């Protein structure tokens, strides 16, 4: 699916006026008499999600009007222009003037994202309203962000029957081929030979054609080094601590961390940012068989730490631990992990916000500013040192699932930090799913935090 702007040379376009509630009457009164009469007669109100085509005497559209609402209604959502775009008939539109408020580049991105539809199994309705890139908007940047987000959504939306570890590897190899990156894979028994024991333990119960693996993609030869680690649990049954049916329904999205780092990687490579990028994805299926790892087992991680398994459904942190330990051996300038890791994070902040953990004040400052500017909200959570004792069971160095249920997202983040080896590190505990449709964000898989990170990178890495 191509989420791109329409060509200005592609034929006639319909002038599009974006009007908010505060300025609507003054704007309406300044239009031609026929336009004023039509707007009054139809009772048009410039609320978010409302639009109208104004015809000439022959019935052909001479202009379109999109509602932009009030500051209060815009504050309660994102992508107000996309809401109007979804109500406009198919055609090519050219923005007249600028927006009454808000960021034009972000609203243009929302328009492109509103064109997204997951149509692999059921074809979408087809034609949509197309926008000519507004003056002053960096078309290449916006289109790169839209394409990266579309990749993330497609990967998450694909059911596990068609998105297992092999298919996730295939998607990474295709991305690498497209941008001249190098992709290597360590698979099956080779994981033990090359010291990735926890990735192997979590994925060893799966069928042979869905064998566990570590996917390693590298791109770029100059500039600061950035390593992205994404959880790639392609389906999570819970293992021997089997999930109930209701909790298993969305587990195709448990590879949302890997999907998000691949979408971010595509953005970085498409924009040719001057950095050296590495993407690590531990890709597994947490299946049930006679070879499943068990509650009570003690595993030894790549970095030598021992981990007591108190719940096989806390498997994501295990595979991430080996990947983080591996990634930190290169001493990158920044290492980021992204994972659909804990239900506790969803309880804390809901599905819209991307909770993240870091001790890096410079990263916090850059990310918080960037997140606001690109409508990709984040929320900082604490690496709360007093909870370290909760992940230390005594019988082993670490506990993968502390009892009691308190601070589940924090203890998971503290667990992962043990494997980042004092690197400049941030961890994102994302949801990766939009449970209800909203402008530019249909129900289903969704990228979280990637645009904010992309916008923050120039300051974070001094690009």
* Through-space distance between the first and last CA atoms of the chain, rounded to whole angstroms: 31
Report d(CA 114, CA 123) in Å as an integer.
16
Q: Which residues contact 102 (CB under 8 A, 6 or more apart)?
A: 68, 74, 80
Question: Catalytic residue at 294?
Answer: no
Spell out the long-range contacts of 400-405 with Cβ–Cβ below 8 A and sequence spacing 24 or more.
400/307, 400/308, 400/309, 400/310, 400/311, 400/314, 400/315, 400/317, 400/318, 401/309, 401/310, 401/311, 401/313, 401/314, 402/310, 403/310
Of 36, 50, 187, 243, which one is the catalytic site residue?
A: 243
Question: Catalytic residue at 317?
Answer: yes
Q: Which residues contact 45 (CB under 8 A, 6 or more apart)?
A: 21, 24, 67
Specify the length of the chain in residues.
Answer: 463
Report d(CA 35, CA 144) in Å as an integer.
37
Of 153, 317, 417, 451, which one is the catalytic site residue?
A: 317
What would the 3-class secondary structure string for the chain be?
A: CCCCCECCCCCCCEEEEEECCCCHHHHHHCCCHHHHHHHHHHCCCCCCCCEEEEECCCCCEEEEEEECCCHHHHHCCCCHHHHHHCCCCCEEEEECCCCCCCCHHHHHHHHHHCCCCCCCCCCCCCCCEEEECCCCCCHHHHHHHHHHHHHHHHHHHCCCCCCCHHHHHHHHHHHHHHHCCEEEEEECCHHHHCCCHHHHHHHCCCCHHHCCEEEEEEECCCCCEEEEEECEEEEECCCCCCCCHHHHCCHHHHHHHHHHHHHHHHHHHHCCCCCEEEEEEEEEEECCCCCCCCCCCEEECCCCCEEECCCCCCCHHHHHHHHHHHHHCCCCCEEEEEECCCHHHHHHHCCCCEEEEECCHHHHHHHHHHHHHCCCCEEEECCCHHHHHHHCCCCCCEECCCCCCCCHHHHHHHHHHCCCCCCCEEEEECCCEECCCECCECCEECCCCHHHHHHHHHHHCCC
Q: What is the set of active-site residues?
A: 243, 317
């Amino acid at each position: 699916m191509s989420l791109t702007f329409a060509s200005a040379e592609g034929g006639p376009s319909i002038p599009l006026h974006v009007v908010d509630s505060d300025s609507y009457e003054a704007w309406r009164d300044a239009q031609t008499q026929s336009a004023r009469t039509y707007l009054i007669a139809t009772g048009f109100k410039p609320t978010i999600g409302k639009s109208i085509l104004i015809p000439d005497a022959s019935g052909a559209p001479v202009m379109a009007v999109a509602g932009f609402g009030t500051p209060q209604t815009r504050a309660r959502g994102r992508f107000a222009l996309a809401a109007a775009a979804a109500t406009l008939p198919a055609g090519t539109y050219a923005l007249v003037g600028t927006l009454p408020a808000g960021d034009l580049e972000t609203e243009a991105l929302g328009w492109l994202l509103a064109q997204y539809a997951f149509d692999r199994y059921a074809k979408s309705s087809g034609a949509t309203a197309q926008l000519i890139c507004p003056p002053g908007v960096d078309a290449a940047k916006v289109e790169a962000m839209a394409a990266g987000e579309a990749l993330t959504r497609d990967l998450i939306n694909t059911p596990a029957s068609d998105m297992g570890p092999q298919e996730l590897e295939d998607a990474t190899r295709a991305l690498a081929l497209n941008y001249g990156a190098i992709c290597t894979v360590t698979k099956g028994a080779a994981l033990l030979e090359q010291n990735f024991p926890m990735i192997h333990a979590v994925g060893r119960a799966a069928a042979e054609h869905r064998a566990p693996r570590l996917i390693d993609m590298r791109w770029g030869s100059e500039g600061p080094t950035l390593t992205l680690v994404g959880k790639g649990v392609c389906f999570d049954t819970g293992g021997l601590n089997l999930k109930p049916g209701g909790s298993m329904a969305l587990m195709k999205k448990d590879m949302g961390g890997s999907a998000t780092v691949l979408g971010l990687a595509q953005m970085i490579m498409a924009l040719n940012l001057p950095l050296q990028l590495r993407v690590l994805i531990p890709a597994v299926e947490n299946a049930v068989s006679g070879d499943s790892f068990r509650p009570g087992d003690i595993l030894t991680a790549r970095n030598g730490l021992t981990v007591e398994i108190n719940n096989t459904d806390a498997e994501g942190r295990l595979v991430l631990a080996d990947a983080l330990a591996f990634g930190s051996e290169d001493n990158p300038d920044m290492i980021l992990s992204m994972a659909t890791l804990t239900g506790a994070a969803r309880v804390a902040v809901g599905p819209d916000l991307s909770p993240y953990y870091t001790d890096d004040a410079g990263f916090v400052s850059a990310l918080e500013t960037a997140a606001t500017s690109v409508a990709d909200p984040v929320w900082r959570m604490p690496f709360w040192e007093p909870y370290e004792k909760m992940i230390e069971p005594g019988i082993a160095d670490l506990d993968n699932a502390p009892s009691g249920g308190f601070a589940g997202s924090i203890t998971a983040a503290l667990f992962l930090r043990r494997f980042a080896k004092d690197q400049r590190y941030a961890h994102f505990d994302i949801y990766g799913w939009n449970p209800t449709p909203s402008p530019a964000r249909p129900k289903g898989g969704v990228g979280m935090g990637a645009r904010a990170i992309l916008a923050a990178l120039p300051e974070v890495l001094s690009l």
